[in-house]
């Protein structure tokens, strides 16, 4: 059940209004596989995720990799199905969004999870 919002501190814009969290090992491995395709305003925060994949998915996503304090350290835009990202050593959190949703996010932005 979504229970948070994500704001871009620099712009004050809303990145996501419905946010799910994957904390346990099982939830992190499952990721978006058991969820319906992300709608506009949806996001999944995956903790302890320096890398993600889209195997088993049928749609594209944006991924914002963040440090433990939600500073964006790397962004993957429009990631196709059946792909894997590079390893992002400084990333502790991956935020998966509908493709195109991270268009206003840049490396160095701080995201506020409310």
What CATH number did the domain enclosing 97 receive? 2.60.120.1140
Q: How many CB atoms lie within 10 A of CB 34?
A: 8
Q: What range does the domain containing 38 cover? A: 6-113
Tens place of pLDDT per residue across the chain (114 aa):
567 899 999 999 999 999 988 766 666 666 666 667 788 999 999 999 999 999 888 899 999 999 999 999 999 999 999 999 999 999 999 999 999 999 999 999 999 998
pTM of the shown model: 0.91
Domain assignment present for residue 84? The answer is yes
DSSP state string for 44-74: EEEES-S--B-TT--S-EEEEEE-TT-BEEE
Domain assignment present for residue 1? The answer is no
Domain assignment present for residue 106? The answer is yes
Spatial strand order of the sheet with 61-66 comes to 18-22, 42-47, 93-98, 61-66, 72-79
Domain assignment present for residue 68? The answer is yes
Domain assignment present for residue 97? The answer is yes
Tally of structural domains, the chain:
1
Token pair for 3: 């229970």
């Amino acid at each position: 059940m979504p229970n948070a919002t994500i704001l871009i501190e620099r712009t004050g814009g809303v990145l996501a209004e419905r946010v799910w969290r994957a904390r346990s090992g099982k939830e992190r491995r499952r990721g978006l596989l058991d969820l319906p395709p992300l709608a506009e305003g949806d996001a999944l925060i995956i903790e302890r995720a320096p890398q993600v994949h889209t195997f088993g998915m049928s749609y594209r996503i944006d991924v914002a990799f963040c440090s433990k304090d939600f500073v964006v350290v790397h962004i993957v835009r429009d990631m196709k199905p059946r792909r894997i990202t590079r390893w992002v050593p400084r990333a502790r959190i991956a935020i998966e969004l509908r493709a195109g949703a991270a268009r206003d996010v840049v490396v160095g932005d701080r995201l506020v999870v409310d």
